[in-house]
Amino acid sequence: MRELAKQAYLERQLLCVIGFGNDTIDLIHGPKRPPKHYLPTLNTITAGGGTPLRKALKYTEVLFQRWDSAQRFPERTIYLFTDGRTNDDIEGISLNYPINVIDTESTSIKLGRSKHIANSLGGHYTHISQYVAGNSMPAGL
């Protein structure tokens, strides 16, 4: 997330962050340029259980439809950070924008559901390990 915010800041792009977990959805950072130092905002994001993935994707779908009707923020790329540990059915959700699913699953027993989520949404799959240890964004993202 820090690299995405940094890239958006340097390229004068807009960034929108929608957080979901513990059965809630929050608009953490509305569509605007991120501040130069984004770490305080990132530190407010928590994770853990009760992932309302379908609800979050539907929220995003409605938000994008509203922006489309107002012709606001035409260029979008979605980055979905998830461990894939959800029982939600995401069939029938169409975001119509490039989506990158970043798999954050780090348990010893891997379920590998994030790859299925990426495929269901017609997106690109990457595991978070490709970003850590100082690596920048993988090519194509």
CATH number at residue 116: 3.40.50.410
Side chain identity at residue 123, one-letter code? G
Please give the Cα distance from 17 to 25 (Å, whole number): 11
pTM: 0.77
Please give the Cα distance from 120 to 123 (Å, whole number): 8
**What total number of domains does the chain contain?**
1
> 37 is written with which tokens?
């130092």
For residues 56 and 79, the answer to whether their CB atoms sit within 8 Å is no
For residues 125 and 114, the answer to whether their CB atoms sit within 8 Å is yes
- Please indicate, yes or no, if residue 54 is contained in any of the structural domains: yes
Residue 63's domain comprises: 2-130
| Banded pLDDT at 136 (limits 50, 70, 90) | low
Backbone phi and psi for residue 19, each to the nearest 5 degrees, phi listed first? -100, 145
For residues 104 and 98, the answer to whether their CB atoms sit within 8 Å is no
Pick the closest to residue 78 from 132, 108, 48, 121 (CA basis).
Answer: 121
Q: What local confidence, expressed as pLDDT, does residue 132 receive? A: 66
Q: Give pLDDT tens digits for 39-82.
A: 666 666 666 666 788 888 988 888 888 887 777 666 778 888 88
- Please indicate, yes or no, if residue 68 is contained in any of the structural domains: yes
C-alpha neighbours within 13 Å on the C-beta side of residue 86: 26
- Please indicate, yes or no, if residue 138 is contained in any of the structural domains: no
